[in-house]
Amino acid sequence: MKLNRGDRVDCRIKDAAIVSSYKEYDEVRTFEIVSVDKHGYYLFVPSYVYIKKSVTADVYQCKHLGIDNRFIDEQIVYIQENQVYRVSAVLDGMSCIVCQEFFFMAEPNQENGSLVCYSCRKNPYR
């Protein structure tokens, strides 16, 4: 199953690192997907959680990865497909990356897994 940004996944955590879904673990945590690529997902790491290998999302990275601006200066971490222990919640639709409007049942139409709505595609400066 291919997941999209806004969906939530549960990951197994061992010694503050996200491990493969079949490995031993200390706890399970739920994360929101903020970007998708061919092999895995970028997850939002809330400030009260410490996860190894997480990085601060800067403006360039958010733009490059199509991450929503509200995650600038927040912690994100990249995981592979096999580090998804289970799907926690699937969002029925997506928000446009440009105007932030939410569209039910919408699917990504950009290479980086984001959605640009019809209005924004027609008029990028609206």
Residues interacting with Zn ion, by CB under 5 A? 96, 98-99, 117, 120
Indicate the residue among 39 and 121 with the shorter CB distance to Zn ion. 121
DSSP codes joined into one string, 37-74:
-SSEEEEEE-TT---TT-EE--HHHHHHHT--GGGTTS
* In the complex, least distance from residue 103 CB atom to Zn ion, rounded to whole angstroms: 9
Smallest gap, in angstroms, from Cβ of residue 109 to Zn ion? 11
Tokens matching residue 58:
């800067």
Which CB sits closer to Zn ion, 17 or 120? 120
Cβ closest to Zn ion, residue 45 vs residue 117 = 117
Rounded distance between C-alpha atoms, residue 126 and residue 120, angstroms: 7
Least Å from the CB of residue 99 to Zn ion: 3
Q: Which is nearer to Zn ion, 91 or 98 (CB)?
A: 98
Q: Whole-number minimum distance, CB 125 to Zn ion, in Å?
A: 12
**Using CA atoms, how far apart are residues 64 and 81, in angstroms rounded to an integer?**
20
